[in-house]
Amino acid sequence: MDPEYAAAVAPLLNAPHPTTPPSVEQVRAHFAHSLIEPNKSFHEGRLPPASAYSVEDRTVKVDGGEIIVRCITPLVNDEGQTFPVFVNIHGGGWCVGSIEIDDYHLRRISVDLQISVVNVEYRLAPEHPFPTAVNDCYAALKWTVENAPSLKVDLSKGFLVGGHSAGGNLSAVLAHETKKDPFFAGRQITGQLLREPVVVHFDAYPESLKGELRASVENKDNPPLTAAVMLGLFHMYQGPPADPRLSPLLYPSHEGLPPAYVQVMGLDPLRDDGIVYEKTLKAAGVKTRIDLYPGVGHGFYYNFPSIKLAELVRQDVVKGLKWLLGRSTE
């Protein structure tokens, strides 16, 4: 373990296990208290000046209702200036989380990279089971295309999608699904940011890859995300394990996908998801970059945002976005 991470995570390792599984309401409350609130507090002091960007929550109609997307746009002197766009999909195992978790960090990214951001508040399972999250995010992606002018977006400058954990899963699915949709012809996704993505259900590991997908056993008890918690999230999401919209590793072809930047944590039960997916994309001719952070667990930078490796992960997200935008000098 990374020494700083070991000290920070010790209370979680020593905490007593609950005798009964917590309710989804309890899990959401814990997620808000232990991840969202610390992150907003940490990033509040790093916010760019309010005069440098605008924030607006917009409504997107979806099948059976509507969702919110939070739109962050740089403010510049040239009213006619346009920007690339990054569609962010939050993590939380499809069952918890909200646009608040990445909100302040995305404001910083928007200003620093001069990129418009659309942050998607998709509906959560178990109230809205699979494939609701996929459909909601797909609708948000189409909405982004249709509303590009009001977002000051020029898709030809960059059309990125990405997220953490379940957000990475949904981003990978969208990259596949949009590839074959005539709606996106001539305005395809140009890059995907996959931070510790879930790419295959534990029960759907291909025989040929079981030797490489070992982390769900090797790291099964590592907080903050254990294999047992992941199984519970799979259960609440209710997606068929072998459906590629849940397990994008299982799409029959990965050719023609946009470039992908992948982040992987060494002590994560999902470590090998990211490693295997990056190898699979590369083998299909997709441009990829991957960063592995040894000695830390899944999403640790949300729980412990002030440790050094957390800062490195955030810096690498910016570098990864620059690479996807074609701005990297490395």
Choosing from 165, 171, 216, 247, the catalytic residue is 165
State yes or no: pLDDT of 17 exceeds 70.
Answer: no
In the chain, the amino acid numbered 249 is L
Which of 288, 308, 67 lies closest to 194 in space, CA to CA?
A: 288
Average pLDDT of span 268-290: 98
User: Would you state the pLDDT for residue 272?
Assistant: 98
Count the Cβ atoms, other than its own, within 10 Å of residue 255: 12
**Centroid of chain to Cα 136:** 15
Residue 169: closest CA among 191, 197, 195, 200: 197
In DSSP terms, 83 is beta-bridged to 153
Rg (C-alpha) for the chain, rounded Å, is: 19
User: How far is the C-alpha of 222 from the C-alpha of 15, rounded, in Å?
Assistant: 12
Tell me whether residue 128 is one of the annotated catalytic residues: no
172 alpha carbon, distance to own chain's centre: 9
Can 156 be counted among the known catalytic residues? no
- Based on the residue annotation, tell me whether 165 is a catalytic residue of this protein: yes
pLDDT on residue 169? 98
Catalytic choice (2, 268, 272, 273)? 268
**CA within 13 Å, CB half, 233:** 22
Per-residue model confidence as pLDDT tens digits over 19-46: 677 788 888 998 888 888 888 999 999 9
Rounded Cα–Cα distance for residues 295 and 3 (Å): 8
Specify the pLDDT at position 34.
84
Percent of the chain scoring above 70 in pLDDT: 98
Query: What average pLDDT does the segment 195-213 reach?
Result: 98
Residue 243 has pLDDT above 70, yes or no: yes
Beta-sheet pairing, 65-74 with 116-121? antiparallel
Chain centroid, CA 205 distance in Å:
21
* Confidence at residue 31, expressed as pLDDT on a 0 to 100 scale: 87
- Pinpoint the alpha helices (H) of the chain: 3-14, 24-31, 37-44, 100-113, 132-146, 166-179, 215-218, 227-237, 271-283, 300-303, 308-324
> Which domains, ranges and CATH numbers included, belong to the chain?
3-324 (3.40.50.1820)
| Residue among 292, 264, 101, 290 at smallest CA distance from 196 | 264
Catalytic residue among 90, 176, 254, 298: 298
